[in-house]
Amino acid sequence: MNASHAWLASLLTVPLSAERMRELITAHCCTVDEMVRLRDDLSGVVIGRVVEAAHHPDSDHLWVTKVDAGGGALLDVVCGAPNVKAGGVYPFAPVGTTLPGGLVLERRKIRGALSNGMLCSARELRLSDDHEGILELETTAAPGTPLLDAIPLGDTRLVIDVTPNRPDLLSHAGLARELAAAVGARMRLPPVPGAPSLARAPAARADSEMQVGGVRVRLEDAEGCPRYMGAVMRGITVGPSPAWLAERIVAVGGRSINNVVDATNYVLHELGQPVHAFDAAKLGGSEIVVRRARAGETIVTLDGVSRTLNADTTAIADHNRAQAVGGVMGGAESEVTPQTTAIFIEVAHFDPVRVRRARRALNLSTDASYRFERHVDIELPPRALARVIEIVAAVAGGHVDGAPGDLYPAPHVPRTVSLRPARVATLLGDAVPQQEIVGLLTPLGFEVEARAGALEVTVPSWRPDVVREVDLVEEVARCRGYDTFSSELRPFRPGTVPESSLETVSRRVRDALVARGLLEARPLPFVKGADIGFVRVANPLSENEAHLRRDLLDTLARRAEYNLARMQRDVRLFEIGAVFLPSADTLPVEELRAALIVMGHRRPAHWTETRPPDFDEWDAKGLAVELASAAYPAAEIALESDADSDWLWSVIVDGTRRGGVRRVPLDAPVWAAPAYGVELTLLTVPSAFVAQPGAARYDATPAVATANHVQYRALPDTPAAEFDLALLVPNDLPAAHVEKVIRGASGELLEQVTLFDEYRGDAVPNGFRSLAWRLTFRHPERTLRDKEVAGRREKLLRTLEGELGVRQRTS
Amino acid sequence: MTLDEFLAAIAALDASSRARVEAADTPAALEAARTELVGRKSGRLTELMHALPGLPPDTRREAGAAVNRLKTALESALDDRRAALAAHAPAAPALDRTMPARREWRGAKHPVTLVVDEIVEIFRELAFTVATGPEAEHDWYNFGALNFPPEHPAMDLHDTLYLAKGALLRTHTSPVQVRTLQSYPPPIRILAPGNAFRRDFFDASHAPVFMQIEGMAVDEGVSFVDLKATLTHFATRFFGKTETRFRPSYFPFTEPSAEMDVRCTICGGSGCPACKGTGWMEILGSGMIHPAVLESAGVDSEKYTGWAFGMGPGRIADLRYGIPDIRFLYDSDVRFLEQFAT
């Protein structure tokens, strides 16, 4: 909503600056996004006082003056205006000023006399067409004061972000009503310059049909148009608008079209009532029918576009065809033109939902549709019609033919809402005395009547948002000012909601991966998927992101490629986020997952190690174990080889596959290192409707997950005995299998088994590898004797040979 | 061997060994001398000691004492010589301690996570816990239960990405309010950080997915004063010494609704382009929970009241860290993310 400061000021009984209006609107109504000074093209012009004026020696019409422009020294200025005189105060443009139209003033000689700037006429400043001489100012402002500050020239536009619940603020009168209430002033409509005093015929009311000044008006679609008023004016002269009218229209960002159209737009911006004027001569059959559009019916609207209507749209038709899209835009055929001498003025109330549907179907938003969608006061049309007639008569002449008509089958019944002052105190936290409540509501048009324990409040017709008690509590709070309420911390009780397990597990996983040097990413979850296997967005931003991802590694792979494209070889990213899997239910299955991708150097280069090793499978396997341990701290975690898929390993948590490790194929340049990824499902996010409201209960003593607690083991106080075992292991025999046999055959004194070497080479026969384990034994109470250890070694070698056919490497 | 022969051998060894020790001029030569003289297997002194049992029994004591004297003397000579060599040894080259340290990769939380963590931390002190909900949501939780009037312009503020019929990507984290109110009895004090989705094209200040953090407190007697107090406390903790300002706004699910501003962090309140000359910066939207929302969730709206707020940690991260374009938050450039390593 664009509001003009000057316009608002004209509606108020006390003067308020634009800044003050901004403060008041912000504090009591809604946000003022911007203040735009409308004549900023005059910002360089200042007040200049002519101290001396003498005839130019070489010219009979030029003057050489000395001007005080506030800079200290007097300036020599040459002037050609006949009305310049010593002591006079004029607009002065110093050297360097850009005048409206783009002329930049320079110091120059005029017939030999130096001129340092220009004294300006009204036309040079684009204030009017007057160029009889320079503009004589009556101001006490000191020389040098910016012209815009000295005289009320530059209107200021306030750009106001009116919230959807406050349609009453979409007009100058509505804003002025709030401003007046806030400062204890009154709002009143200013007189229209040059308005004749018209004998006002009262409007005639009917339910569905009547004659208005020779036009037959019929209301068939009362659902789409609950109230339709009209009047006919004849003998008008269409022409340019007078300056006061055009200025108002321009000030709110509009374009002056002609006096009649400007008059209708003026009323829209002044009162918030959209008004449309038809050329009465163009109405076929001298008829107006307010009806649903016929499916497929077309109309050329005022913007010259041919549009097809649907049956949800209210058409304002003549005998033959639609002449306007109700509540949205007029038609080109009956447009007011310079030849128009008679008009039919429409002032109606259109249903918000129906206008919204029409606007969306036509993809055509206008000042009118914007207001009707949000609700225009249904009691406003009589005043708006009187106002538009007054203005048209003032700017285009003419007279009203007959009585205006008012088709209004179901008149508005005011709503009453009761308000308990005790409830105000409960909700707002500070008590507001009843007298004060009445004093706050009344200036806004609420009628308040005190009853026992409650106030009966009648809601004005322009406030569709006030329907229940709490809405009145808000009125009290905002009119009083939110800042008048205290902000002391008061006692509270702790809540009953336990920490979400999604949050707990996310935190654990994030901390673990950050500690391992990984970087958290938060990429977008959209992918170009397929229509089977993916969840599709019904109205995607583009076909390239029409699906929700079903795994995180895919997203991270694209992010790794993004980094490669920026010459980053070392990438280590992780993400904790949701994936979406198709389901037979309304909602997809949503899983919270964690994934990571590593590529390039395992650590930063250092002068002791110019080329650190690259991340490999074993790093990824280790990260997978860490990730899974962080996510499932009490569980048994195993990484199983996954020979039959793209995965190197599956991550098995308590017997169930929860994720995997794989090499990640990338669209990568030759210098890129291989990328490895891990993905793990953390939890399924519950998304069904809460089945038994109130069933969840916070357990005051939540079960302590003892399995998560580390149990202390006694530190050894006897020495360990260890030996190494180098075995020739066939290539197809997994090391884990051999290790399992070692553990089984070593007895309970075995403390640790570590695979520390793999070797393939000369001394190792084909089809074999040498694997070396270090075994550590320890007796809890005494030192093991050499013979005991040797005995274990012998037994172990026998078992390995017997069970696996594996022998010690001898060379 | 007689005692005399033995003592002569000791004397000879004594004389030659001292010269041998003195002649050693490197640690290696000294070690060779030590092995030759007193080495455990074939040192010359060791050999003499092995010869002791061959002496007549009545002379062994004297011979043994002589051997021990020589052994002590030799070890002492070796120690002295070792110390002398060490004293004159050329110093090992000193460390150039200006050389760079060895480093590991540093991990980092995402800047939006950092901001969320900081916010959550402040509210935890006031006994809030974290609640969550799904990102793919029922229409009813996202709009219906939150008092959105159907076919109303309020819906235009939520340009929605729809999935199947009745399903959408939540446009805010407020559905968590309803899910929580349905599940747990008051008193309730929760925070709900999470992703929200809008059908916005990606540019410097808009993203189709963004982080939001919701907060809610519901109990008997919870009031607008509590809302102001808690959020002002938060603002002071988060932004340091600042002023707050509450002003009217509109959200279908709160009534009264309020936006909270803090003093502009760029100009401190004197007015600048970042705050459009107002000196204030909008930080969050809030309000008293609309009774219709409590009723949707089955909560007695006459007995219980509550307040709620929502804010965008992404925008706050941009402000706090001076990030000029929100797309950096999504690009996942490692050079960007590394800047947030702690």
Pick from A130, A124, A181, A148: which is nearest to A44 by CA? A148
Specify whether the backbone of A315 is left (phi greater than 0), alpha (psi in -120 to 50) or beta: beta
Q: By CA distance, what is A512's nearest residue in B?
A: B107
Q: Is the bond preceding residue B187 a cis peptide, omega within 30 degrees?
A: yes
Residue B78: pLDDT over 90: no
For the ranges A155-159, A691-695, B48-52, the lowest mean pLDDT is seen at A691-695
For the ranges A14-28, A472-486, B31-45, the lowest mean pLDDT is seen at B31-45
> Cα(B54)–Cα(B57) distance, rounded to whole angstroms?
8
pLDDT of residue A811: 67
Banded pLDDT at A114 (limits 50, 70, 90): confident
- Which chain B residues are within 8 Å of A580, Cβ to Cβ? 136
Q: Which ranges of A121-256 would DSSP assign to H, the alpha helix? A: 147-150, 172-183, 243-251
- Interior angle at CA A345, CA A343 and CA A349, nearest 5: 160
- Which chain A residues are within 8 Å of B246, Cβ to Cβ? 482-483
Percent of chain A with pLDDT over 90: 77
pLDDT of residue A349: 98
Percent of chain A with pLDDT over 70: 97
DSSP β-bridge partners for residue A67: A50, A75
Residue A692: pLDDT over 60: yes
- The DSSP 8-state label assigned to residue A138 in this structure reads -
Residue A102: pLDDT over 70: yes
Percent of chain B with pLDDT over 90: 59
DSSP β-bridge partners for residue A324: A316, A330
DSSP run (H or E) holding A571: strand A571-581
Assigned token pair, B41: 């297997």
Per the model's pLDDT, the better-predicted residue between B230 and A453 turns out to be B230
Beta-carbon count within 10 A of A374 CB: 25
Pick from B100, B105, B338: which is nearest to A604 by CA? B105
For A348, residues 6+ apart whose C-beta sits below 8 A from its C-beta are A225, A227, A228, A229, A290, A326, A327, A381
Please name the amino acid found at residue A718: T
**Length reported for chain B:** 342
Specify whether the backbone of B307 is left (phi greater than 0), alpha (psi in -120 to 50) or beta: beta
pLDDT of residue A703: 46
Please name the amino acid found at residue B18: R
- The DSSP 8-state label assigned to residue A545 in this structure reads G
For A450, residues 6+ apart whose C-beta sits below 8 A from its C-beta are A434, A438, A456
Pick from A262, A687, A484, A411: which is nearest to B175 by CA? A687
Burial class (CB in 10 A: 0-12, 13-18, 19+), A636: exposed
- Contact criterion met (CB < 8 Å) for B183 and A695: yes
Per-residue pLDDT reduced to its tens digit, B306-334: 999 999 999 999 989 999 999 999 999 99
User: Global pTM?
Assistant: 0.84
Please answer whether residues A80 and A153 qualify as being in contact, where contact means their C-beta atoms are separated by less than 8 angstroms.
no
Q: Average pLDDT, stretch B292-296? A: 96
Pick from A463, A461, A379, A445: which is nearest to A167 by CA? A463
pLDDT of residue B44: 81
pLDDT of residue A704: 47
- Which chain A residues are within 8 Å of B156, Cβ to Cβ? 164
- Contact criterion met (CB < 8 Å) for A30 and B250: yes
Burial class (CB in 10 A: 0-12, 13-18, 19+), A691: exposed
Burial class (CB in 10 A: 0-12, 13-18, 19+), B194: buried
Q: Average pLDDT, stretch B98-105? A: 93
Please name the amino acid found at residue A122: A
Per-residue pLDDT reduced to its tens digit, B124-156: 999 999 999 999 999 999 999 999 988 888 787
Please answer whether residues A302 and A331 qualify as being in contact, where contact means their C-beta atoms are separated by less than 8 angstroms.
yes
> Cα(B279)–Cα(B273) distance, rounded to whole angstroms?
9
The closest CB to that of B187, out of A426, A493, A568, belongs to: A493
Per-residue pLDDT reduced to its tens digit, B2-18: 878 888 888 888 888 87
In Å, how far is A752's CA from the nearest CA of chain B?
Answer: 29
The closest CB to that of A490, out of B138, B190, B226, belongs to: B226
Per-residue pLDDT reduced to its tens digit, A559-571: 999 999 999 999 9
Per-residue pLDDT reduced to its tens digit, B222-236: 999 999 999 999 999
Residue A702: pLDDT over 50: no
Residue A21: pLDDT over 90: yes
How many CB pairs lie under 8 A apart between chains A and B? 299
In Å, how far is B135's CA from the nearest CA of chain A?
Answer: 8
Strand order in the sheet with A675-684: A519-520, A571-581, A589-599, A675-684, A656-663, A649-653, A637-641
Query: Is A485 in CB contact (< 8 Å) with chain B?
Result: yes
For B58, residues 6+ apart whose C-beta sits below 8 A from its C-beta are none
Distance of CA A197 to the CA centre of its chain: 49
Please name the amino acid found at residue B81: R
The closest CB to that of B154, out of A29, A164, A490, belongs to: A164
Interface of A with B in 737-796 (CB under 8 A): none
Per-residue pLDDT reduced to its tens digit, B147-203: 998 888 878 778 999 998 899 999 999 999 999 999 999 999 999 999 999 999 999
> Cα(A750)–Cα(A721) distance, rounded to whole angstroms?
10
- Contact criterion met (CB < 8 Å) for B255 and A26: no
- Contact criterion met (CB < 8 Å) for B138 and A587: yes
Q: Which ranges of chain B would DSSP assign to H, the alpha helix? A: 3-23, 27-38, 44-51, 60-88, 111-124, 139-142, 175-183, 224-239, 291-296, 313-321, 328-331, 334-337
Interface of A with B in 300-359 (CB under 8 A): 352-353, 356-357
Residue A211: pLDDT over 70: yes
- Contact criterion met (CB < 8 Å) for A586 and B129: no
**How does strand A571-581 pair with strand A589-599?**
antiparallel
For the ranges A8-17, A33-42, A124-133, A694-703, the lowest mean pLDDT is seen at A694-703
pLDDT of residue B155: 81
> Cα(A502)–Cα(B160) distance, rounded to whole angstroms?
25
Burial class (CB in 10 A: 0-12, 13-18, 19+), A353: middle
Q: Average pLDDT, stretch B250-267? A: 93
The ipTM estimated for the assembled molecules is: 0.86
Between the alpha carbon of residue B53 and those of residues A294, B1, B37, B57, B61, the distances in Å are 134, 10, 20, 8, 11
Residue A674: pLDDT over 90: yes
Banded pLDDT at B92 (limits 50, 70, 90): confident
Arithmetic mean of pLDDT over chain A: 92
Q: Is the bond preceding residue B256 a cis peptide, omega within 30 degrees?
A: yes
> Cα(A755)–Cα(A772) distance, rounded to whole angstroms?
6
**Length reported for chain A:** 811
> Cα(A344)–Cα(A348) distance, rounded to whole angstroms?
13
For A118, residues 6+ apart whose C-beta sits below 8 A from its C-beta are A77, A79, A92, A93, A99, A105, A124
> Cα(A240)–Cα(A259) distance, rounded to whole angstroms?
5
For the ranges A197-201, A287-291, A302-306, A551-555, the lowest mean pLDDT is seen at A197-201
Pick from A149, A188, A181, A163: which is nearest to A46 by CA? A149
The closest CB to that of B104, out of A357, A603, A696, belongs to: A603
Pick from B71, B30, B23: which is nearest to B48 by CA? B71
- Contact criterion met (CB < 8 Å) for B165 and A586: yes
- Which chain B residues are within 8 Å of A517, Cβ to Cβ? 104-107
Burial class (CB in 10 A: 0-12, 13-18, 19+), A685: buried
Burial class (CB in 10 A: 0-12, 13-18, 19+), A617: middle
Assigned token pair, A95: 């050297």
Q: Average pLDDT, stretch A712-725? A: 92
Between the alpha carbon of residue A306 and those of residues A300, A333, A437, A587, A668, the distances in Å are 4, 11, 53, 41, 52
For the ranges A265-269, A443-447, A717-721, B55-59, the lowest mean pLDDT is seen at B55-59
Per the model's pLDDT, the better-predicted residue between A733 and A72 turns out to be A733
Arithmetic mean of pLDDT over chain B: 90
- Which chain A residues are within 8 Å of B221, Cβ to Cβ? 426
Pick from A251, A200, A355: which is nearest to A38 by CA? A251
Please name the amino acid found at residue A280: A
> Cα(A510)–Cα(B116) distance, rounded to whole angstroms?
13
For A412, residues 6+ apart whose C-beta sits below 8 A from its C-beta are A378, A379, A461
Q: Average pLDDT, stretch A30-48? A: 87
Q: Distance between the two ends of chain A, CA-based, in angstroms? A: 91
Which of B132, B147, B197 should one mutate to test binding to chain A, selecting the residue with the greatest count of A CBs within 10 A? B132
Looking up tokens 């939006």 gives: B112
Please answer whether residues A343 and A277 qualify as being in contact, where contact means their C-beta atoms are separated by less than 8 angstroms.
yes
Between the alpha carbon of residue A714 and those of residues A643, A718, B225, the distances in Å are 41, 12, 57
pLDDT of residue A152: 67
Please answer whether residues B174 and A724 qualify as being in contact, where contact means their C-beta atoms are separated by less than 8 angstroms.
no
3-state helix, strand, coil split of chain B in percent (to 5) is 45, 20, 35
